[in-house]
């Protein structure tokens, strides 16, 4: 039976229109800072980022009577609104058609290690509330006739807690949250880029007092860069991940995140060694993850060299057609690269093969109009000759059609429709793709309420380092919603965002503006273009899925030198409107240095291979094979169990990176709550630990 979905339904799930923004609030006054007339905006809380996590925090704060403003570089233009996969996943509780065990779900979330156990439980127990509230707002999660949520298995998910609205799940989340934010009259300042966090006092008393931004609407003759001052007592960083860090990236263009911004303000960052890499189409065209049914349809994968010759390169890696085809299929729910899956002819051998083809100057394609060609000397591809798990899945799905495009159309017609929307018809032409950086699992160090190491500053979504080494697919969308709500609850309980502060922070802001102007140097030899090319090439070539100790150490030296050059020479800009980008590349260079600093420390202290990368070592204990024998060049170190129980923390002190480790926080699964005993802590607000903010 072929699934027949009417065109108007396909349209609604792929072309997701976004609401029109309301009129923006006017500034309250203007102050002269370092010779520039700077408009001042005041709010109890500023949320940096208009993605799903940031909007969740803003909506929940507004409902609690807080005075909140959202600052967005490009409303509806970030990762949440513009990224996805075949059926983009939301990972929540409620599985096996009979509810869920939150403790078991927490164990699954933190299974990769280097994740605080209490954080995993917070995400697990908060997921049911998060999903229900999204459904209340109108998120069309699929149900069966009796109201149960439809589920499937995703990566790092052995149970099946995944659900989806289709390829645009996160965009639909942004849409319903944006509509609610607009309904609640939450001001959204568009084309406004945070460039410096302002703090006052020292030591443990240091706290947020505001943030400087570059704002297109405030560009005048007296303020050519459009610098704006936002005075606030609370700041929520929700600007996503550092998408511009890698050349080979599936992030939408222009995603800078806030790691460099946080480093400059002295915030502690955690788990910067941990990212996700996987196959997807390049950002030069339509960036999209190729997980799920794209590979479960088992298309033919091949490369084309500089002379236009086609190569069936996967046949060099697998011993039989069945083994090769089955591992292409498994990339559907083993999508992220993982070093251990290069062993025993596993699914990440596919990633390694693609990586090597690209490094050799070849382009790699999927062809949905051809089944995989056979491994030389072996039998041709057949749906009857697949590994048992693959054969069972396709059988249950009724995907027994002759060609990959037919199987894909049967299992997920939206996957075809989506690319067609962007002028790529995978039913007609092959699809070029590569192994790309997709997600930063590390980020700003936060507690179970989203508080950072800086008083008054919270971090949520991909900006927060709440993930460990691995996570189930879609758990990041869940985490952003859970912690967006948690942060809002904590801010509401503190009472610090009820009204906009009236304090005078002119002196602090003047110093901040002067610091920005020191970077903006028209005659600097460093340009946005040159810094971008250097940072992205270094990260993709030295800190991608394959790296080694000496290469990372050399890359760190170069990254540190670049940060020094930026401090000494500034960054050139061609016109005033490019000032914001120059400052963002100052941040990105700093973030790159911090990632390499953490990675170098990890490797030098015996760190082995895990989720993000294979740490190659000529005396490593793990050795992948292809069909012709051992791949000695890719021998790697195995992970040390002890490193799963700790986290690496990095921060900037003056101009120097600092580093330390700490053990992960544990969660006592045997502890029991008792209503009569524990209710007073809720009634009195003791659960929020507000004394720590004093």
Q: CATH number for the domain including 88? A: 3.50.50.60
The pLDDT of residue 253 = 87
d(CA 278, CA 291): 8
Q: For 98-114, what is each residue's pLDDT tens digit?
A: 568 899 999 999 999 99
Q: Would you say 196 and 212 are in contact if contact means Cβ atoms under 8 Å apart?
A: yes
Please tell me whether residues 294 and 266 are part of one structural domain.
Answer: no
287 shares its domain with 273: no
Q: Kindly write down the DSSP assignment for every residue of 570-635, as one continuous string.
A: -BB-SSGGGHHHHHHHHHHHHHHHHHHHHHHHHHHTT--B-SS-EEE-TT-SB--EETTEE-GGG-
Name which of 373, 332, 355, 364 is nearest 430 in CA terms. 364
Domain membership of residue 16 (yes or no) is no
Distance between CA 151 and CA 124 in Å, rounded? 16
Burial class (CB in 10 A: 0-12, 13-18, 19+), 264: middle
pLDDT of res. 83? 76
For the chain, the distance separating the N- and C-terminal CA atoms, rounded to the nearest angstrom, is 64
C-alpha pair distances (Å), 360 with each of 196, 328, 356, 357, 365: 41, 21, 6, 5, 15
What Å distances lie between residue 578 and 183, 225, 533, CA to CA?
33, 8, 17
Distance CA 393, CA 518 (A): 59
Whether 5 is covered by a domain: the verdict is no
Within-domain flag for 96: yes
Q: Among 294, 308, 313, 548, which Cα is nearest to 424's?
A: 294
Torsion over CA of 458, 462, 465 and 467, rounded to 10 degrees?
A: 130
Per DSSP, the residues of 73-121 read SSTT-SHHHH---TT--EE-S--TTS---HHHHHHHHTTTSSS-HHHHH
Query: Beta partners for 276?
Result: 439
Within this chain, do residues 583 and 600 fall inside the same structural domain, yes or no?
yes
Range 602-607, long-range pairs (CB < 8 A, 24+ positions): 602/273, 602/643, 602/648, 603/548, 603/549, 603/552, 603/553, 604/549, 604/553, 606/637, 606/640, 607/273, 607/637, 607/639, 607/640, 607/643
Out of 437, 459, 481, a domain closes at 437
- DSSP conformation class of 149: B
Residue 1 lies in a domain: no
Query: What is the Cα–Cα distance from 294 to 291, expressed in whole angstroms?
Result: 6
What would you report as the CA-atom Rg of the chain, rounded to the nearest whole angstrom?
25
3-state secondary structure of 234: strand
Shared-domain flag, residues 375 and 467: no
Boundary (domain end) residue, out of 378, 403, 437: 437
Which structure tokens are listed for 503?
């304090």
Kindly state whether residue 580 falls inside one of the protein's structural domains: yes
**Coil, strand or helix at 560:** helix
Range of the domain at 63: 41-277+439-507
* Residue 2 in domain: no
Query: Is residue 303 a contact partner of residue 339, using CB atoms and an 8 Å limit?
Result: no
Angle at which helices 169-183 and 475-494 cross, to 10°: 20
Q: For residues 432 and 309, state if they share a domain.
A: yes
Burial 643-681 (b: 16+ CB within 10 A, else e): bbeebbbbbbeeeebeeeeeebeebeeeeeeeeeeeeee
User: Does 420 lie in the same domain as 349?
Assistant: yes
Query: At which of 437, 463, 478 does a domain end?
Result: 437
Are 162 and 94 in contact, with CB atoms under 8 Å apart?
no
pLDDT at 1: 38
Structure tokens at 322: 């069945």
Q: For residue 291, what are the CA distances in angstroms to 281, 337, 433, 486, 577?
A: 11, 12, 12, 30, 38
Reading the block at residue 641, the tokens are 């169990």
Q: How far apart are CA 79 and CA 50, in angstroms?
A: 10
pLDDT under 50 in the chain at which residues?
1-2
Residues 213 and 128 in one domain: yes
Angle between helical axes of 102-109 and 117-137 (0-180°, round to 10): 110
Task: State residue 603 phi and psi, 5-degree precision.
Answer: -70, -45
Which three-class secondary structure state does DSSP give residue 316?
A: helix
- Report which secondary-structure segment, H or E, holds 211: strand 207-215
Domain of residue 591, CATH code: 1.20.58.100
Give how far Cα 628 sits from Cα of 137, 319, 375, 379, Å.
55, 9, 12, 18
Indicate whether 292 and 415 sit together in one domain.
yes
Contact 651, 268 (CB under 8 A): yes
Q: Which of 474, 576, 508 is nearest to 226 (CA)?
A: 576
Supply the angle between the helices 413-421 and 7-14 in degrees, to the nearest 10.
60
Could you give the CA distance from residue 35 to residue 40 in angstroms, rounded to a whole number?
A: 15
Q: Strand 614-616 vs strand 546-548: parallel, antiparallel, or unpaired?
A: parallel
Q: Could you tell me if residue 23 is inside a domain?
A: no
The angle formed by the CA atoms of residues 549, 466 and 486, to the nearest 5 degrees, is: 165
pTM for the model: 0.95
| Overall domain count for the chain | 3
pLDDT at 330: 96
Residue 639 lies in a domain: yes
In DSSP terms, which residues pair with 459 in a beta bridge?
A: 237
Whether 174 and 318 map to the same domain: the answer is no
Q: In this structure, are 469 and 393 located in the same domain?
A: no
Residue 312 shares a structural domain with residue 455? no
CA nearest to 472, candidates 104, 161, 103: 161
Nearest in space to 300 (alpha carbons), one of 126, 430, 410: 430
- The position carrying tokens 């505001």 is 210
DSSP label of 178: H
Residue 233 and residue 292 in one domain = no
H or E element, residue 45: strand 36-48
């Amino acid at each position: 039976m072929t699934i027949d979905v009417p065109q108007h339904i396909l349209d609604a799930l792929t072309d997701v229109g976004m609401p029109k923004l309301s009129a923006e609030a006017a500034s309250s006054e203007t102050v002269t800072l370092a010779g520039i007339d700077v408009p001042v905006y005041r709010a109890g809380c500023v949320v940096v980022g208009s993605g799903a996590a940031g909007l969740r925090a803003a909506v929940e704060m507004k409902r609690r009577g807080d005075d909140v403003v959202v600052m967005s570089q490009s409303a509806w233009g970030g990762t949440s609104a513009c990224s996805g996969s075949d059926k983009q996943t939301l990972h929540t509780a409620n599985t096996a058609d009979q509810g869920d065990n939150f403790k078991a779900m927490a164990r699954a979330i933190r299974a990769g290690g280097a994740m605080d156990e209490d954080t995993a439980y917070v995400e697990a127990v908060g997921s049911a509330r998060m999903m229900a509230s999204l459904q209340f707002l109108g998120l069309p999660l699929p149900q069966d006739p009796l109201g149960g949520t439809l589920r499937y298995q995703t990566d790092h998910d052995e149970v099946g807690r995944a659900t989806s609205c289709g390829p645009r799940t996160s965009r639909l989340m942004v849409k319903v949250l944006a509509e609610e934010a607009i309904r609640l009259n939450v001001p959204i300042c568009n084309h406004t880029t945070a460039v410096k966090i302002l703090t006052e006092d020292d030591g443990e008393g240091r706290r947020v007092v505001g943030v400087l931004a570059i704002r297109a609407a405030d560009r005048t003759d007296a303020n050519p860069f459009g610098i704006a001052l936002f005075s606030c007592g609370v700041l929520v960083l929700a600007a996503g991940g550092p998408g511009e860090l890698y050349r080979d990236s599936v992030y939408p263009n222009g995603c800078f995140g806030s790691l460099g911004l946080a480093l400059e303000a002295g915030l502690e960052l955690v788990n910067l060694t941990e990212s996700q890499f996987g196959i997807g189409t390049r950002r030069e065209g339509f960036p999209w993850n190729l997980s799920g049914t794209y590979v479960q349809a088992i298309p033919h994968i091949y490369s084309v060299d500089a002379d236009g010759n086609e190569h069936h390169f996967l046949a060099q890696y697998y011993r039989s057609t069945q083994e090769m085809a089955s591992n292409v299929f498994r990339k559907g729910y083993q999508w992220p690269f993982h070093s251990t899956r290069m062993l025993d002819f596993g699914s990440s051998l596919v990633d390694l093969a693609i990586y090597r083809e690209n490094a050799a100057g070849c382009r790699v394609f999927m062809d949905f109009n051809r089944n995989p060609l056979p491994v030389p000397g072996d039998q041709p591809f057949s749906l009857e000759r697949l590994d048992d798990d693959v054969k069972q899945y396709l059988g249950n799905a009724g995907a027994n059609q002759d060609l990959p495009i037919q199987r894909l159309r049967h299992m997920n017609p939206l996957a075809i429709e989506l690319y067609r929307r962007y002028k790529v018809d995978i039913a007609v032409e092959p699809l070029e793709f590569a192994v790309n950086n997709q997600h930063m699992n590390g980020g700003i160090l936060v507690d179970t309420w989203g508080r950072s190491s800086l008083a008054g500053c919270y971090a949520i979504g991909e900006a927060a380092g709440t993930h460990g080494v691995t996570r189930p697919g879609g758990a990041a969308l869940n985490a952003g919603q859970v912690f967006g709500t948690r942060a809002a609850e904590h801010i509401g309980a503190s009472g610090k965002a009820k009204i906009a502060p009236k304090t005078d922070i002119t002196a602090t802001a003047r110093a901040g503006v002067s610091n920005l102007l020191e970077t903006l140097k028209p005659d600097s030899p460093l340009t946005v273009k040159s810094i971008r090319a250097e940072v992205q090439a270094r990260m993709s070539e030295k800190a991608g899925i394959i790296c080694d100790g000496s290469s990372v150490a050399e890359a760190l030296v170069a990254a540190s030198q670049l940060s020094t050059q930026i401090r000494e020479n500034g960054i050139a800009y061609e016109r005033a409107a490019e000032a914001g980008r120059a400052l963002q590349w100052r941040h990105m260079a700093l973030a790159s240095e911090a990632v390499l600093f953490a990675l170098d420390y990890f490797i030098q202290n015996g760190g082995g291979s895990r989720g993000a990368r294979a740490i190659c070592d000529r005396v490593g204990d793990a050795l992948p094979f292809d069909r012709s024998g051992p791949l000695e060049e890719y021998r790697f170190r195995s992970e040390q169990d002890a490193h799963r129980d700790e986290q690496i923390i990095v921060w900037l002190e003056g101009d120097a990176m600092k580093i330390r480790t700490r053990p992960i926080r544990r969660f006592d699964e045997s502890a029991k709550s008792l209503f009569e005993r524990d209710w007073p802590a809720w009634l009195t607000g003791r659960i929020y630990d507000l004394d720590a903010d004093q």
